[in-house]
C-alpha cells in the first residue's frame, strides 16, 4: 500500500494526463506555422465576385479556406490581403485564432471597415477550418456540438401581383419551407415604384422607376393580407423593406404589418436612423430584424442590449467571421434576441458554411437566410451545403467541410460586373437618391 507521499511522487513522475488516451490524441502533432496565404479570386457567374483565402500551413496537405466576400470592392479586398495582411500572417501560429484575429484587427489601425472585416473573416474561417481538419471533426463539434439537427432556412418568394406572390409562397411551402420572405415586384422597394416615365417628373430629369413610399405603404401590407387570407397562419412570413422608408413612415409600416403577425420585418430603417427603433418598439409588436449593413459593434450592441430588435442580421464575413458571429450570438442569448445571418445572391458557399456551423451550435439562433447555388458551383466547390425540405445540410467533412478546385476556379477569373452594384441606385420622382 502506498502512503500519501509515495502517491504524490508517482503522480509527479507519471501524471494522469500522460495516460494513454490523452497521449494518443496529441502525439505526433508538431507546432504549426502559416507557410503561405493564397488568394483565389473567381467569378463562376458574372454576379459572383468571390475572393477566397487559402491559408496553407507547414503541415503537408493541411490548409484552410475562408471567404472575403465583398462583391462591391472585390479587387480592393484582394489587394488588401495580397499586399498587406497576407504577408503579415505568414509565419504566425494558425492555432491561435483569437489572438491572430485581434492582432490583425489593430494592425490596419482604423478598424471595422468593410474591407478589413472581410479580410479578417477570411483568415478566421480558414483557421477554424484548419483546427477542425486537425481534430478530424466538423467545425460544429469544436464550437460545442449541435443544439439542432439541421439549419432551417427562409426562402425568397415574390411576384408581380399579390396573386403571383400567393402562388409562389405556396410553391415554397410545398417544398417544405416553413419560413418565407415575400417581396412584391422586381427588386427591393417593389410595390412602391411609379413606372418609368409616369407621374409628375422634373423637366429633363430622371425618367426611370421612381420610388414613392406612400405607394409602398398601401400595396405591400395589402399583398400580405391576401397571402394570409389564402394560405392561413401556419406559414411564417418575412419581408425586407431594405431601408426604403423615412422614419415616420417606417413606424406606420410596422403598425400596419402588425395584424399580419410577421416572423420579422427586415431593415425598416437605414443604419443611420437606428435610434427610431425605440419608437417602433413602443408602438407595435411587429418583430424587427436589422443589421445587414452593420460592420461595427457600436451598431449592434445597443439594439441587442436594449432589446430594440428581435433578430440580428449581419453577414458573417462582413463582421469579421465565425469568431465575431459567436460573440454576437452570445450577446443575443443574454437579451432574448435571435440571429438571422444574412445571405445574398452574390454570397459564396464558404461564407454560407461558416454561418451554418455557428447556426448549429447556438441557442440564440432564429433563422438562416437561403442561398441556392447552381450545380457548377457544387462542382467547383465540393462540400457546398445542400438544401432539402427547407433545411440546410453541410457535408459533415472535417473543418468547414468544403474545398475548391483551383484549376476550375482559374477558368473563371474575377470580374467586376457593374450590375452587382447597380441595384443599389434607387431614385424618387425628383431624381434624388433613396437608401437601397
Q: Which residues bind Mg ion (CB under 5 A)?
A: 240, 292
* Residue with Cβ nearer Mg ion (240 or 346): 240
| Cα 104 to Cα 69: distance, rounded to the nearest angstrom | 18
| Smallest distance from Mg ion to CB 320, Å | 19
* Residue with Cβ nearer Mg ion (292 or 403): 292
Question: Which residue of the set 48, 154, 172, 188 is catalytic?
Answer: 188
Give 396: exposed, middle or buried? Use CB within 10 Å, 0-12, 13-18, 19+: exposed
Residue nearest to Mg ion as judged by C-beta position: 240
CA distances from 347 to 117, 291, 344, 372, 429 (A): 15, 16, 5, 10, 32
| Smallest distance from Mg ion to CB 51, Å | 21
Active site residue 63: no
* Residue with Cβ nearer Mg ion (89 or 341): 341
Active site residue 391: no
Q: Compute φ and ψ for 274, nearest 5 degrees.
A: -65, -15
Question: Which residue of the set 242, 244, 311, 391 is catalytic?
Answer: 242
| Smallest distance from Mg ion to CB 303, Å | 16
Output DSSP code: residue 328.
H
* Residue with Cβ nearer Mg ion (130 or 254): 254
| Smallest distance from Mg ion to CB 64, Å | 29
| Cα 264 to Cα 248: distance, rounded to the nearest angstrom | 19
The residue among 17, 3, 69, 31 whose CA lies nearest residue 348 is 69
Chain-centroid distance of CA 2 in Å reads: 59
| Smallest distance from Mg ion to CB 421, Å | 16
**Cα-based angle 275, 156, 188 (whole degrees, multiple of 5):** 50
* Residue with Cβ nearer Mg ion (240 or 348): 240
| Cα 37 to Cα 59: distance, rounded to the nearest angstrom | 14
Active site positions, annotated: 188, 242
Amino acid at each position: 500500500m502506498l502512503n500519501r507521499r509515495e502517491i504524490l511522487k508517482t503522480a509527479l513522475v507519471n501524471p494522469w494526463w500522460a495516460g494513454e488516451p490523452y497521449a494518443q490524441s496529441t502525439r505526433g502533432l508538431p507546432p504549426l506555422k502559416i507557410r503561405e496565404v493564397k488568394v483565389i479570386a473567381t467569378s463562376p457567374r458574372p454576379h459572383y465576385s468571390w475572393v477566397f483565402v487559402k491559408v496553407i500551413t507547414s503541415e503537408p496537405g493541411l490548409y484552410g479556406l475562408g471567404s472575403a466576400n465583398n462583391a462591391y470592392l472585390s479587387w480592393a479586398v484582394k489587394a488588401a490581403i495580397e499586399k498587406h495582411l497576407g504577408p503579415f500572417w505568414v509565419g504566425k501560429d494558425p492555432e491561435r485564432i483569437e489572438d491572430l484575429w485581434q492582432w490583425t484587427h489593430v494592425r490596419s489601425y482604423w478598424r471595422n471597415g468593410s474591407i478589413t472585416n472581410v479580410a479578417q473573416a477570411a483568415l478566421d474561417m480558414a483557421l477554424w477550418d484548419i483546427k477542425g481538419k486537425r481534430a478530424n471533426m466538423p467545425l460544429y463539434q469544436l464550437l460545442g456540438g449541435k443544439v439542432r439537427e439541421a439549419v432551417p432556412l427562409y426562402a425568397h418568394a415574390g411576384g408581380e401581383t399579390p396573386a403571383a406572390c400567393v402562388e409562389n409562397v405556396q410553391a415554397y411551402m410545398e417544398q417544405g419551407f416553413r419560413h418565407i420572405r415575400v417581396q412584391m415586384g422586381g427588386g427591393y422597394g417593389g410595390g412602391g415604384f411609379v413606372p418609368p416615365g409616369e407621374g409628375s417628373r422634373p423637366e429633363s430629369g430622371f425618367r426611370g422607376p421612381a420610388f414613392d413610399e406612400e405607394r409602398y405603404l398601401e400595396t405591400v401590407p395589402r399583398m400580405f393580407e391576401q397571402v394570409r387570407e389564402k394560405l392561413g397562419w401556419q406559414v411564417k412570413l418575412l419581408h425586407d423593406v431594405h431601408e426604403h422608408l423615412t422614419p415616420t413612415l417606417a413606424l406606420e409600416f410596422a403598425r400596419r404589418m402588425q395584424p399580419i403577425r410577421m416572423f420579422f420585418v427586415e431593415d425598416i430603417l437605414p443604419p443611420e436612423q437606428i435610434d427610431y427603433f425605440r419608437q417602433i418598439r413602443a408602438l407595435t409588436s411587429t418583430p424587427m430584424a436589422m443589421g445587414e449593413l452593420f460592420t461595427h459593434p457600436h451598431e449592434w450592441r445597443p439594439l441587442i442590449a436594449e432589446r430594440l430588435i428581435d433578430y440580428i442580421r449581419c453577414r458573417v464575413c462582413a463582421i469579421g467571421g465565425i469568431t465575431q458571429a459567436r460573440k454576437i450570438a452570445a450577446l443575443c442569448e443574454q437579451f432574448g434576441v435571435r440571429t438571422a445571418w444574412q445571405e445574398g445572391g452574390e454570397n459564396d458557399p464558404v461564407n454560407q458554411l461558416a454561418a451554418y456551423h455557428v447556426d448549429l451550435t447556438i441557442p440564440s439562433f432564429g433563422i438562416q437566410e437561403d442561398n441556392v447555388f447552381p450545380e457548377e458551383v457544387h462542382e467547383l466547390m465540393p462540400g457546398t451545403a445542400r438544401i432539402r425540405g427547407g433545411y440546410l445540410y453541410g457535408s459533415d467533412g472535417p473543418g468547414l467541410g468544403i474545398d475548391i478546385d483551383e484549376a476550375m476556379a482559374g477558368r473563371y477569373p474575377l470580374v467586376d460586373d457593374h450590375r452587382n452594384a447597380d441595384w443599389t441606385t434607387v431614385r424618387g420622382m425628383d431624381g434624388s437618391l433613396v437608401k437601397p
